Structure 1
Amino acid sequence: MAGPRRSRLAARRRTIARCCACVVLALAALAARPTARGVGDARERARRRASVDPSLLEEWSRSRLPPKCSRALSGSVDAASGSWALSHVASRSKLYAAMDAELTERGLTAFDDAGGARTQGSGVDDLFAFDRVTGLARAKLTRLDVAVRAIVLPLPRRSRAAFRMRRATRAVVAAAGYHDGRDAWLQDPDAYHFSMFHASHHLAPTPASAAEVEAEMRAVARVVRGACAMTATIERVVATPSGSVVALWNLAGGSEPSAFRDALRAALPNAPAAQIVSDEHIMHTTLARLLRPPPGAGGDAAAATAAAAAIARQLTERLCGVEVTLPIAWFVQERDKLALALGGAHDATPTTFDACGGGG
């Protein structure tokens, strides 16, 4: 009896092994074969590249955007969306080229003793304190009497885009001689976001009762639910005279940001006339802030400016073409000044974009 039983067990093992091998081969074949969606995406990108407006290609070339970035953008921008949408794409590109040139024209002035470029009215010393022993930077959190009420689009947490942005920023900043937490402040990737509109901000506080804030939240939710989730593509990265390293995005699909801001303005009639985000087209995400000149630059302003420009240039090469869909908007109440940027106290109420199929 032992012999036949062993034969049956051996045959069963051989059958199981053959089945496992077939499964492994099938999975390998599926992994190697392009998916229908992947083929479709590639065809769509090729169609967009072939149909992109030549004036856009000229604008990107004129602004010295690297060729790989122009190709990535032309494969992302929805050329079928019409001249109105493409005119806004062009407006963003012109704005970004001007922002890129500003560092060359003005230099990195954030560290000037006389008081250089500032961010929302604050300089480096207003926002950070440095330990005398370790040299480490600590954010100065300033509690606000009137909470900032902002509408922002958060980058999805743990998204591939957020991971690539964080990894590239850390690597490029470190290669330039900056140390995270000492000479530079890297943005928390969980707080990457696009600022869209302010119902109140610290430069123009607009007090509101609890009932009035609730009414603002309902009004914002109506606007968001009536809009389409935006898909954005990084066009370039710039360093500003105030030392901010900023990713600048263009629209690949969904609601036009300027139209979204117009709708928010109509829904929030008591909002400050002068907005923190002054340009209606811009889509930007802060990646880092340079806190001091790079080691070795000393007091050489030109060397510090060159280092900042090199960081922006290398990050542009690494990140242009990174694409992400923004499925929700937050109504944020920042209890501390620049809370999202500095890790301060804030509350966020999310609403999903419902038009055009929502964020999916």
Structure 2
Amino acid sequence: MNLIAFVKTVDQVLAFMETAWRRYARMMGTRSLNVAYILVFVVLCSWLLLASLIQTPRIRVQQCRLLQSLNDKRTSSYSNDERLKLYENMTGELDKQGPLFLGDGKTSQSLKLSDLFSVINGKIVPVHKVANPPVRAVVLYLDPDAAHEIKQTIESILSRHFPKTGLWFQDPDLYHFSMHHASHHQNPVPATLEEINSEAAAVRQVAEKSLILEIELERVVLTPSGVLVGCWQVSKGTDPAVIREELRNALPRSPAKQLYNPVIFYTSFARILSAPLTARKDYSADAVLEILKGLVSQLNQNLCSKAAVKELWYVEELDLLALALKGRTRIRRFQLQSDPKG
């Protein structure tokens, strides 16, 4: 029921009750009428409060989706269009490949889940392995206020559907967007301390000519390897594709083959490690897939986030996947610039 229809209904109810009360007053007297007014007033207030509580979450999501739609039309760019195509392809990969993480447990870096996590006293604990040489990554850092809100929403929806050992939640204080690698696991590029300092200085220069990003969550996607990722669009600021190009020029020793499409812009939220509790052992793979897709749909209905990206980090990951698994890191943080136009 929309607001206008709701008000009309209340008005009709009040008119009917007024007529009934006048008849009641003639029979029972004024004092009884006053008591009746008070009782009905309390009932109506309770009704209105309950209706507002029920409608608020849905209204919030609808309003936010509307703002996103209007903003997309107003600020649509080539990069956002390209990102949309990538996100649609990412969404379809789960249907094409299925939930591979429930089979052999392979991850996106050809590591098994057992290489990344262990279970100690009924809790999931990340396995930290030394990265030799350390991975040197440049990442954009998501505003922590938005990150914590996202994490709370995801946890509230998913936790009741999985065992305690079935989920790994990323640390919201480390939500990030991978932009460029000066050295990565596929193509290690060793560096001296002097070279590392030089790289960090070059990243600082890129940050000093890049504007703060204002971004909107476009969708949540579950990858075949079990990672829940947030796919974002950019409404204002220096586009990630431009920042990646600047980093490529600033870090000429970097591997020629980078790990990501130049326009893609996503951050990992969580990793699913097991089948949902509602999936019985006799369920088919397709049935389990539908349950997982239903949970992702719930996330997309409830997550509607806008955020700011104000920092560019130069990170040395001393352990494999250190940012994702809360391993050892050395981080240098550089501020992006405010738009002088406001």
Matches of 1:214 and 1:144 in 2, distance apart?
A: 19
Deviation at 1:122, TM superposition (A): 1.8
Residue 140 of structure 1 is matched in structure 2 by: 127
Residue 112 of structure 2 is matched in structure 1 by: 123
Matches of 2:163 and 2:172 in 1, distance apart?
A: 17
Deviation at 1:138, TM superposition (A): 1.4
Matches of 1:78 and 1:267 in 2, distance apart?
A: 34
The answer to whether structure 1 residue 318 and structure 2 residue 302 are counterparts is yes
What are the equivalent positions in structure 2 for 1:274-313 lying under 5 Å apart? 274-276=257-259, 278-299=260-281, 300=283, 301-313=285-297
Deviation at 1:298, TM superposition (A): 4.4
- CA pair 198-86 structure 1, distance change in 2 beyond 3 A: same
Write out per-residue CA displacement over residues 184-206 of structure 1, whole angstroms, 9 at most, x where no aligned residue.
00111111111111111122211
What are the equivalent positions in structure 2 for 1:1-360 lying under 5 Å apart? 71-77=66-72, 79=74, 86-112=77-103, 115=104, 117-131=106-120, 134-157=121-144, 159=145, 161-175=146-160, 177-180=161-164, 182-276=165-259, 278-299=260-281, 300=283, 301-320=285-304, 322-354=305-337, 356-357=339-340
Deviation at 1:67, TM superposition (A): 7.8
Please tell me the root mean square deviation across aligned C-alpha atoms, in Å: 2.1
| Percent identity (aligned) | 33
Matches of 2:79 and 2:68 in 1, distance apart?
A: 14
Instruction: Compare the two structures and name the one with the higher helix fraction.
Output: 2
The answer to whether the Cα contact below 8 Å between 2:163 and 2:277 also exists between their aligned partners in 1 is: no
Unaligned runs of 5+ in 2: 1-60
Question: Helix, strand or coil for the counterpart of 1:255?
Answer: coil
- CA pair 306-117 structure 1, distance change in 2 beyond 3 A: farther
Residue 47 of structure 2 is matched in structure 1 by: none
Question: Helix, strand or coil for the counterpart of 2:139?
Answer: strand
Matches of 1:249 and 1:68 in 2, distance apart?
A: 18
Write out per-residue CA displacement over residues 163-210 of structure 1, whole angstroms, 9 at most, x where no aligned residue.
3201111011124x1144x11001111111111111111222110000
Deviation at 1:72, TM superposition (A): 3.3
Structure 1 or 2, whichever has the larger Rg, is: 2
Question: Helix, strand or coil for the counterpart of 1:294?
Answer: coil
AA of the residue aligned to 1:124:
L
Aligned residues: 280
- CA pair 284-152 structure 1, distance change in 2 beyond 3 A: same
Question: Helix, strand or coil for the counterpart of 1:130?
Answer: strand
Unaligned runs of 5+ in 1: 1-65
The answer to whether the Cα contact below 8 Å between 2:106 and 2:113 also exists between their aligned partners in 1 is: no
- CA pair 337-91 structure 1, distance change in 2 beyond 3 A: same
Moved over 4 A (4+): 66-70
Matches of 1:235 and 1:69 in 2, distance apart?
A: 11
AA of the residue aligned to 1:76:
N
- CA pair 99-234 structure 1, distance change in 2 beyond 3 A: same
User: For structure 1, which segment, 306-315 or 332-341, has the greater mean C-alpha deviation from structure 2 after superposition?
Assistant: 306-315
